[in-house]
């Protein structure tokens, strides 16, 4: 297993374990274009999310802004709760949506708002989505410390 693959698997196990197979060694994907999951594992999570220089909280902030600008609604539905796990607050996510209106346009911000309402519409919905993504039964609260995950464990890497 490559170093990038190992780093990616570790990151996903902490941020979105439901995306991994039972043995935690590959992304769950089947059907049309099923290799895209492995490509994201190696090229996005392994090569980018595990780089030094930015912590996960900062990477989540950047990712949310880019996804809003691209109008990537389905990815926003994944990354809004991931951002909470990575220590970004709901209020900060709202500010990113507001700020993006001036740079990415009102339609992009409005679309992001709708995606956020779907997965973060209430505290209960946000916790349900985080539990689903992390495979956990317990409630997770965002950490104020960017080097500590929402479950209180120290984060590995950047």
> How many residues in the chain?
158
Cα gap 27→84, rounded to integer Å: 21
pLDDT score of 158: 46
Alpha-carbon torsion (98, 103, 109, 110), positive or negative: positive
pTM of the model: 0.75
Q: How confident is the model at residue 151 (pLDDT cuts 50, 70, 90)?
A: very low
**Domains assigned to the chain:** 3-49 (no CATH), 56-134 (1.20.1290.10)
Residue 8 in tokens: 């990616």
Residues 40-83 have pLDDT tens digits of 888 898 899 999 999 999 999 999 999 999 999 999 999 999 99
What residues form DSSP beta bridges with 148?
154
CA-CA distances (angstroms) from residue 117 to 11, 14, 50, 86, 126? Answer: 26, 24, 29, 19, 9
Query: 22 by DSSP, 3-state: which?
Result: coil
What DSSP character marks residue 101?
Answer: H
pLDDT at residue 26, rounded to an integer: 65
All residues at 6 or more sequence positions from 51 whose CB lies less than 8 Å from its CB, including other chains: 158
C-alpha atoms less than 13 angstroms from C-alpha of 21 in its C-beta half-sphere: 9
d(CA 124, CA 88): 17
Cβ proximity of 120 and 92 under 8 Å: no
């Amino acid at each position: 297993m490559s170093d990038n693959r190992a780093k990616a698997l570790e990151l996903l196990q902490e941020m979105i374990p439901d995306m991994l197979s039972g043995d935690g060694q590959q992304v769950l994907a089947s059907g049309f274009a099923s290799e895209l999951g492995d490509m994201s594992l190696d090229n996005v999570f392994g090569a980018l999310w595990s780089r030094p220089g930015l912590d996960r909280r900062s990477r989540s902030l950047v990712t949310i802004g880019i996804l809003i600008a691209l109008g990537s609604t389905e990815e926003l539905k994944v990354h809004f709760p991931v951002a909470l796990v990575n220590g970004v607050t709901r209020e900060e996510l709202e500010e990113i949506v507001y700020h993006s209106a001036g740079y990415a346009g009102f339609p992009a911000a409005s679309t992001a708002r709708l995606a956020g309402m779907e997965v973060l519409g209430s505290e209960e919905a946000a916790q349900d989505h985080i539990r689903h993504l992390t495979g956990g039964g317990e409630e997770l609260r965002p950490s104020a410390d960017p080097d500590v995950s929402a479950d209180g464990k120290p984060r590995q890497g950047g």
